[in-house]
């Protein structure tokens, strides 16, 4: 005997995505505190952490809305194609975002930018692991 398909967790995924803005705000505040503590006149650490965390949030936001727009067992092929499209879009956003950050925000702390991006990747992995 087979069991029925489980309900889609689309609403829960969207809620978790929206809650990640608090992690972005926390990383921005942490960047300002580190810049203030190091007496960084240009707030390069704060600017870098804000740019990296916002880039990760925007890329994940695009992925979430592209990958989870179709649900249901009848649309398995479309769901798979949406996931591939969402992943490719996310990588394009990340690559273009890093190029723009490092070219247009000329005096920036590269380590802080990557650290802010990595912090958001960890937060996104942790929040998606709560879906089980």
Domain membership of residue 1 (yes or no) is no
Q: pTM of the predicted model, to two decimals? A: 0.85
Residue 93 lies in a domain: yes
Indicate whether 3 belongs to any domain: no
Task: Identify whether 6 is part of a domain.
Answer: no
Task: Evaluate whether residue 4 is within a structural domain.
Answer: no
DSSP 74-99: GGHHHHHHHHHHHHHHHHHHHHHHHH
pLDDT tens digit string along 18-61?
888 999 999 999 999 999 999 988 899 999 999 999 999 999 99
Residue 41 lies in a domain: yes
Residue 92 has pLDDT above 90, yes or no: yes
Look-up of token digits 């390069």: 44
Q: Single out the residue of 48, 40, 22, 65 nearest to residue 102, CA to CA.
A: 48
Give pLDDT tens digits for 19-29: 889 999 999 99
> Does 59 reside within a domain?
yes
Tell me the pLDDT band of 118, cut-offs 50, 70 and 90: very high
53 occurs within a structural domain: yes
Structural domain containing residue 89: 11-128
Please determine, for residue 5, whether its predicted confidence score (pLDDT) is greater than 60. Answer: no
Give me the chain's average pLDDT, please: 87
Q: Domain total for the chain?
A: 1
């Amino acid at each position: 005997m087979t069991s029925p398909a489980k309900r889609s967790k689309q609403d829960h995924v969207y809620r978790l995505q929206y809650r990640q803005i608090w992690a972005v705000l926390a990383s921005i505040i942490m960047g300002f505190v580190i810049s203030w503590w190091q007496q960084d006149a240009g707030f390069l650490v704060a600017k870098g952490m804000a740019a990296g965390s916002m880039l990760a949030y925007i890329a994940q936001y695009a992925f979430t809305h592209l990958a989870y727009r179709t649900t249901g067992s009848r649309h398995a092929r479309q769901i798979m194609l949406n996931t591939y499209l969402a992943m490719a879009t996310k990588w394009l956003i990340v690559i273009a975002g890093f190029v723009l950050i490092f070219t247009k925000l000329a005096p920036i702390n590269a380590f802080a930018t990557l650290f802010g991006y990595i912090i958001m990747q960890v937060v996104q992995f942790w929040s998606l692991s709560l879906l089980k």
